[in-house]
Amino acid sequence: MTTIADHLHPLTRDFLARLPASHRPGKQLHRAPDGRVVGDWFGLALSSAFQPIVDGRTGRVAGHEAFLRSAAPDDQGLSPWTLFSTAAADARLIALDRLARTVHLLNALVAGSKRPLFLNVHGRLLAAVADDHGRAFRRVVGALGVAPERIVIETPVEASDQPDLLAFVLRNYRNNGFRVAVNVESPAQWQRIASNAWPQYVKIDRRKLGTPEEAREHIEWLNALRDDSNLIVTHVEDAADTSLGEHILLQGYAFGHPAPAPADSAA
């Protein structure tokens, strides 16, 4: 009988085998009793939750976005926003951001997911890293035997207000083999940056698209702007919105809440 571990790249399997079963001083990663990977960050245990992104035409899972979860010995963990806001120094922020992405990648591998994995970068990181965005994480990905094109680096919505910085960052991540996604505040914002930013995915909040009829018109117009970028509508919470369009991807509670293991992970 084969197990998920049998299908892991030998580098990943070897790395996971060497992780301690509980936190040890000087070690940032360990395995929880349920097999998941946990990151240790100043007394907090960092773990992952995954939300599916589905194909609007078939309803099949097309990828997963990873979200950070934290817990403390007293069960009083911090929200991701609060956790990152405590990292006042740029160097600490960069370390936390990279640790979080490593935890997410390892947990996706442990679960056997073969879908594209969407990993967020914090907005401050874009300005804090002055040179080659993605180079350090590319080394992590390579050390685990993972193809970088399986990873989608996702920039926050505030980055789309800085077109020059955004274009520089996206180019760096693409040059390191990653795919990229941008979040936009509105259809008009995507129109403003579409000629300079070249992401594989564009994400927009369903709540910014108006009524179902208005949303369908916006989606049709957005798809016409650039046929080489895949549109993802997020925060789809109403089952009626699952029919917004066939040529888009959808994400939200209508398709699943973030969970410790990726849904449809073995497919």
Residue 80 sits at the vertex; the CA angle it makes with 25 and 199, to the nearest 5 degrees, is: 110
The pLDDT confidence band at residue 247, using thresholds 50, 70 and 90, is: confident
| Tens digits of residue pLDDT in 6-40 | 678 899 999 999 999 888 877 799 999 989 999 98
Task: Tell me the percentage of the chain whose pLDDT exceeds 90.
Answer: 51
pTM of the model: 0.91
Rounded to 5 degrees, what are φ and ψ at 94?
-60, -45
Does the structure show a pLDDT above 50 at 267? Answer: no
Quickly state the pLDDT bin for 238 (edges 50, 70, 90): confident
Closest CA to 148 of 137, 159, 156: 137
Q: Is residue 52 very low, low, confident or very high in pLDDT (cuts 50, 70, 90)? A: very high
pLDDT for the residue numbered 197: 87
User: Quick one: pLDDT at residue 243?
Assistant: 83
What confidence score (pLDDT) does residue 76 get?
Answer: 57
All structural domains of the chain: 47-69+79-251 (3.20.20.450)
246: helix, strand or coil = coil
pLDDT in tens, 214-224: 999 999 888 88
- pLDDT above 70 covers a percentage of the chain that reads 87
Instruction: Let me know how many helices (H) and strands (E) the chain has, helices first.
Output: 8, 10
